[in-house]
Structure 1
């Protein structure tokens, strides 16, 4: 198998926002979102989700345009069709778009749907648009534009309509099960913008047009990706106003740190930081981590003068709070409490 990268493009501002919404859709809103680890930018398509071993792919074409007609939708599907006809296999072919005209959907209340929710007349216009755009693209073999191929492709396409959702709504989904730690709108927007800018910067690393790869994991060699872990870390960092994995000793942890023999202090600090890193990035206990963080955050807000030891005792008394986050031991949990306490109170 070989795959040649073609039709990579630079982001426009509206496309940049749409691609970040598409990324957060992949990360949070699909039944298989937990399987997606990498988000590859402008390599196979505008955005491609990958599992942690880069063996399963989710193909996304995203456009920020609004009131898009069925024929224009057909034109937007051309890169997805290219990948459908390639040697690669994708879990899904997803068109993420701002909004559509009333002539597309049978049930206009649905914002995620397959071709079964598209009106018959609209399907014909989509096919026309796809055929016209495919015929104009050098990277589409004209012999591939058969009714059989196009019909088979359309049965695989999944349409996602943004319908004016605010960027903050997409960020909320990262921690939606823990409303007590959802920050105010301006912080949610700041998180979105940070993800957007990081995503956009991936396009400036190097040109990949014309690159040939033999296996899908080779796409990661070009550093045009974000990970699920990076995005979680950005979110936590904004909420607590500090980098939880940054170097140095949190001031609230100094009294505990100083009780250790000098020759053991560095090792102990590294162990605590390692435990926090594992807890944050353990996708099998992700909900447990956010539940622990939610309770820690609330206790610090309610008892701002409490010591780390006192907060640790209070957290121990919350049923099933610590046990759901197995990467922490007593010392590393106190380190985590210190990190959150110093961030919240700075």
Structure 2
């Protein structure tokens, strides 16, 4: 059995905004966010989350319109339904929309809901819209358009209404409690950069009509981002440098020079690897940002202090809260942040 790609597309800016919001929703707000590693762009659907070993899929169709009628919602479900009846199994089917008409929800305060929060008359119109759209698509077999299958599918759909600004979605990466969150225009600029990277994935070689026999084969076409890449981008914008540049950070040179010459290269790589593990460790995400926040602010408060002195000023328990760092790699991290902030001045 195979899965054949159909209906890949290039989008207008408003639609691209919606897809980036959908990506950041999956990354930061969905209940399975800690399990989602890859974000596959315009392959299975507008966006599909995938776990690290390509064993699970979270499928999203996004629509930026603010006042979707029940029938319009049904029509927008067609690519999710295509995947529901496909060879592959998807963990979740999510319709991410800018808004809905007043006729849709029973409880209008719920922005994340399932069919049981849709008014009965609207459920009928939604189903009608889905059936009409499915019947018009050549990529859905008519034998798959049955009441039983459609009702089962609709019970599994999650509707998500976009209720946040672009800056809010980026802020959620950094965590709300952190004191170093930049101004909204800077957060929006980071959002736009993520959107551009995501949109560029659509400009790679076309995948329309490509067939695959396993989920992981979708990664061969490099239409994906990872949560780690996005976090690295955000860190880079906050400290104004690539945190994984090959050169030794200048503030770390005194420490680096004290290593035996034959050990320097390996020691530096170990520090970078520890930093990478700490940044991408989802089990200690909040602890990482608390540590980063304290380092960032100590450097701003004491710009003339060196790495050793900044290290000594950090709270003992905060230093120990990220198990991926040891003393040397933490000093390397301090040096990386310090160099980035010095370059900004």
Contact 1:178 1:294 in 2 (8 A): no
**Which of 315, 321, 336 in structure 2 is aligned with 1:339?**
336
Runs (5+) with no aligned partner, structure 2: none
CA distance in 2, matches of 1:143, 1:305: 72
The equivalent residue for 2:169 is: 170
Cα distance in 2 for residues equivalent to 1:199 and 1:72:
26
1:159 offset after TM fit, Å? Answer: 0.3
Task: Give the distance between the partners of 1:153 and 1:264, measured in 2 at CA.
Answer: 58
Question: How far apart are the structure 1 equivalents of 2:87 and 2:237?
Answer: 41
Alignment map for 1:305-324 (pairs within 5 Å): 305-315=304-314, 318-324=315-321
Per the alignment, in what secondary structure is the counterpart of residue 181 of structure 1?
Answer: coil
Query: Where do 1:258-297 residues align within 5 Å?
Result: 258-297=257-296
Question: May I ask how many residue pairs the two structures share in their alignment?
Answer: 343
Deviation at 1:206, TM superposition (A): 1.0
Paired residues of 2:251 and 2:339 also in contact (CA < 8 A): yes
CA contact (8 A) 2:178 2:289 kept: no
Provide, for residues 139-197 of structure 1, a one-character-per-residue CA deviation record: whole Å limited to 9, x for no partner.
1122222211111111111000114x210011111122432121111221121111111
Structure-2 residue corresponding to 1:67: 67
Query: Once structures 1 and 2 are overlaid, which stretch shifts more, 14-23 or 137-146?
Result: 137-146
Q: Write out aligned runs for 1:76-91 (5 A).
A: 76-91=76-91
RMSD (Å) for aligned C-alpha atoms: 1.3
Shift of 1:198: 0.6
Structure 2 residue 104 is the aligned partner of structure 1 residue 104: yes
Partner residue, 2:327: 330
Query: Are 1:122 and 2:131 matched, yes or no?
Result: no
In the TM superposition, residue 83 of structure 1 has moved relative to its aligned partner by 0.7
**d(CA) in 2 for partners of 1:85 and 1:172?**
36
The alignment status of 1:205 with 2:204, answered yes or no, reads yes
- Residue number in structure 1 paired with 2:43: 43
Q: C-alpha displacement at 1:265, in angstroms?
A: 2.6
Name 1:298's counterpart in structure 2.
Answer: 297
**2:216 maps to 1:235:** no
Question: Which residue does 2:189 correspond to in 1?
Answer: 190
| Structure 1 segments unaligned to the other structure (5+ residues) | none
1:131 to partner: Cα distance: 1.1
Indicate the SS of the match to 2:59: strand
1:66 shift after superposition: 1.7
Q: How far 1:87 moved relative to its partner?
A: 1.9
Q: Deviations over 1:27-73 (max 9, x none)?
A: 01112110100000011110000010111000100011121111111
CA distance in 2, matches of 1:313, 1:237: 25
Would you say the 8 A contact 1:178–1:290 is kept in 2? no
> SS of 2:317's equivalent?
coil
Q: Deviations over 1:111-147 (max 9, x none)?
A: 1000000001111111111111111111112222221
Looking at structure 2, the residues matched to 211 and 11 of structure 1 have their Cα atoms a distance apart, in angstroms, of: 20
- Please give the alpha-carbon distance, in whole angstroms, between the structure 2 residues aligned to 1:294 and 1:341: 12
CA distance in 2: counterparts of 1:319 and 1:252, whole angstroms: 22
**Hey, what's the Cα distance between the residues in 2 that align with 1:294 and 1:189?**
20
Residues 193-202 or 178-187, more deviating: 178-187
Q: Which residue of 1 aligns with 2:245?
A: 246
- What is the SS of the residue equivalent to 1:320? helix
With the length of structure 2 as denominator, give the TM-score of the two structures. 0.96
- In 2, Cα distance between the equivalents of 1:120 and 1:31? 27
